[in-house]
Amino acid sequence: MSEPQPLSERNASVPGDYRAALGAVLEALDIPYAATVGDEETRAAMLLERVMHTVIFLRGVLDPDRRGYRCVADDVAYLLDRLAEHPAEGYKTWAQGVAELEAAKDGGR
User: pLDDT tens, position by position, for the chain (109 residues)?
Assistant: 566 656 556 556 667 788 899 999 999 999 999 999 999 999 999 999 999 999 999 998 888 787 556 688 888 999 999 999 989 899 999 999 999 999 999 876 6
pLDDT of residue 11: 58
Backbone angles phi, psi at 70, to 5 degrees: -140, 150
pLDDT of residue 15: 72
Question: Would residue 83 count as lying in a domain?
Answer: yes
pLDDT of residue 83: 94
Backbone angles phi, psi at 93, to 5 degrees: -80, 165
pLDDT of residue 9: 60
DSSP letter for 36, please.
S
Question: Would residue 34 count as lying in a domain?
Answer: yes
Question: Would residue 76 count as lying in a domain?
Answer: yes
Question: Would residue 44 count as lying in a domain?
Answer: yes
Q: Which of 30, 29, 40, 50 is nearest to 91 (CA)?
A: 40
Question: Would residue 5 count as lying in a domain?
Answer: no
> Helix %, strand %, coil % for the chain, to 5?
70, 5, 25
> What is the total count of domains within the chain?
1
Question: Would residue 6 count as lying in a domain?
Answer: no
Question: Would residue 52 count as lying in a domain?
Answer: yes
User: Burial code of 86-104, b = ≥16 C-beta within 10 A, e = fewer?
Assistant: bebeebbbeeeeeeeeeee
Domain extent, residue 88, equals: 14-107
Q: Do 93 and 38 touch, CB atoms closer than 8 A?
A: no
